[in-house]
Chain A
Amino acid sequence: MPKRLQLSTGAWDWVAEVSGARISLTPGDDDVTVSRSGAHVRVEGLAQPMTGTAMVSGDQVWVTVAGEVFLFSVTHGTPRAKATRDQDAFTPPMPATVVRILVKPGDAVNEGDVLIALEAMKMELPIRAPRKGVVRAVHCRESELVQPGHVLLEME
């Protein structure tokens, strides 16, 4: 009996039907055969055979193929409701230090304006306005260490 899986990298989604070593993927309508040797998994049935490495971690899977890195979220069975991405949730992509706050509540900003400058691993990461608008609140201080999920700022 084939197993049905929902796969998502965040940017791309698939439905996979797995019957032993045979896998059909939608979208793509690809039917491929998979075999494993140690840590390597070989995929046949595409334009050319490809080998990758994978590791399961909870309900996620790390995969690399041709040097590309993917982190898949895997759901068994029917798809769950897809979380919508809130464009205005200004949160750091990784633990970072707030180096500059360039706006205050009430400021009008244009799309692309730098609102907050973060620094992580010696690199500066600007948080930019996704659209024209007004800053409602700022929830961080300069030199504060902030974590992913911490909402740094709100826009009206």
Chain B
Amino acid sequence: MIRRVLIANRGEIARRVIRTCRAMHIATVAVYSEADANALHVREADAAELIGPAAATKSYLNIAAVIDAARRSGADAVHPGYGFLSENATFAEACEQAGLIFIGPPGSVIRHMGSKTGARAIVAAAGVPVVPGETPAAQDVASLAKAVTTIGLPVVLKAAAGGGGKGMRIVRDAESLEESISSARSEAERAFGNGTLYVERLIDRARHIEVQIIGDTHGHLVHLFERDCTLQRRHQKVIEEAPAPRLTPGVRARLTEAALAAGRAVGYINAGTVEFLLEGEGDDARFYFLEMNTRLQVEHPITEAITGLDLVRAQLLVASGEPLPFTQADVHATGHAVECRIYAEDSRRLLPQAGRLIHYVEPAGEGIRVDSGVTEGQTVTVHYDPLLAKLITYGPTRDDAFRRMTEALGAYEILGLDHNIAFLLRLLERPEVRETRAHTRFIEAEFATLAAPPDPDVLQAAAAIAAFVSSRDAEAVIADADEARPDPWDLIGPVAW
């Protein structure tokens, strides 16, 4: 069994992995950049290793530095989390070569699935439906334009080496093709060091449904049902739920079987996600393989909520060479779970935000889970992903889970930077979302109304509060004068007046 895990990540996912390791009596080693010296994951791990300066390329993406930290700290395994090096085959292989267990699939599987075109070919051969598309051998504008003509507009340009929406552009008219190619390519080059573009037919008004799978080294491969991640903006998921609503038992059975077929086709080991686009209704709904994520997914907590399983625990057991602690027959989905991603951002202008969290209180209560990477007093920097936390609610029915989510979002208190909670609340109120009529470009299509200015009464209430606390400020400062606060921020809290 693994004894000491180095977590090659930061923020909420590093803390998430630490929690399960602690429960399993496995020691943890955090890594951190100079910008994260005081971060929560560093404080919570049993040991911590500095791996470089703030820039991710020099720290969290620096394979040599991470491997070196693992050796130095005596770790026998590495958990990559998601993002950063989690889907880097070279990193997985470097771990193996250094005698470290990589908690994920073998490097060869990551490499096969990391290439969109390679992955398509493999799963298509296993009988899994794929969206029509191609990667032109010549990558000049004329060759890409020819591929676009063959497939037919509208199309999606994708980074052949990529994921996470980077280097992705939708092209609806021939005029915008050239600009889309150039911006997709430069984004792909910067994100993945490879500007090769893949052209795919755009499946319009589709839902994004993905299946969680997990396999062990003893030949077992099971699915943990599906998640609906249709609500996305700029190809990044915003709200996810499990199980997928309005999915017939027949389609669910075909979908989970297709995911297992895709997993078997590559000899999948450890936790992974097979993503599909779903179009159509009822038993006639059709689905197409989109890609496979060879790592723990951001939204894994909603699967944990409905199955009652700890995915990180299963990952650690499988990586240790143990058989899966459950069979397919043991896995049941009960109730409904929703996850909202809380981002530091200006949702109206879609700009990430930085700042100091001068007040930060997470919601708590029955059916509420918060996986966060931040705490009050912490400064959110521009160096990394603007995800502050994941808020997960669970209930017996979808309505219960949604009601809890609305309440929990309302109870979340974050001051010191702009965030997307109002945007999430507005999204959750929409009948299209309530009735599962939204498609993957719903946010884009409805952006003008979703990003409308605040309700006039909300504005008036905010102005009244600002006026009230400002007029009281002088008195509050006098009342507090003896307290010698080291913190320059004056909390409008339990001051005696």
Contacts and interface: CB of A to CB of B under 8 A. Distances in A.
Nearest to B351: A93
A94 B454 contact: no
A135 interface: no
Contacts of A70: 459, 462, 466
Interface string A44-64: 001110101111110001111
Given A55-B491, A62-B416, A65-B462, A18 B410 contact: no
A39 B492 contact: yes
A76 B361 CA distance: 30
A65 B458 contact: yes
B359 interface: yes
A7 B463 contact: yes
A88 B425 CA distance: 35
B422 interface: yes
B412 to A, nearest CB: 8
B464 A25 contact: yes
Contacts of B455: 66
A94 B410 contact: no
B125 interface: no
Contacts, number: 195
Contacts of B416: 55, 57, 62
A126 to B, nearest CB: 9
Contact of A46 (B418, B425, B460): B460
A5 interface: yes
A62 B413 CA distance: 11
A67 B409 contact: yes
Nearest to A57: B489
Nearest to A96: B382
A16 interface: yes
Contact of B414 (A25, A34, A56, A64): A64
B124 interface: no
Contacts of A95: 354, 382
A116 to B, nearest CB: 13
B253 interface: no
A74 B456 contact: no
Contacts of B457: 46-48, 50
A7 B435 CA distance: 40
A94 B353 CA distance: 7
Nearest to B490: A56
A132 interface: no
Interface stretch (A79-87, A103-111, A117-125): A117-125
Given A41-B468, A69-B419, 14 more contacts: A21-B468, A23-B468, A28-B456, A38-B493, A43-B461, A55-B358, A61-B466, A65-B461, A67-B412, A93-B349, A93-B351, A94-B353, A120-B382, A122-B352
28 contacts: A16-B463, A30-B464, A32-B460, A32-B464, A46-B460, A46-B461, A48-B457, A52-B462, A53-B359, A53-B413, A55-B469, A55-B491, A57-B489, A62-B359, A63-B415, A65-B465, A67-B412, A69-B421, A70-B459, A76-B470, A94-B354, A94-B382, A100-B186, A121-B386, A122-B352, A123-B351, A124-B187, A125-B351
Interface of A: 3, 5, 7, 11-12, 14, 16, 18, 21, 23, 25, 28, 30, 32, 34, 36, 38-39, 41, 43, 46-48, 50, 52-57, 61-72, 74, 76, 93-96, 99-100, 117, 119-125
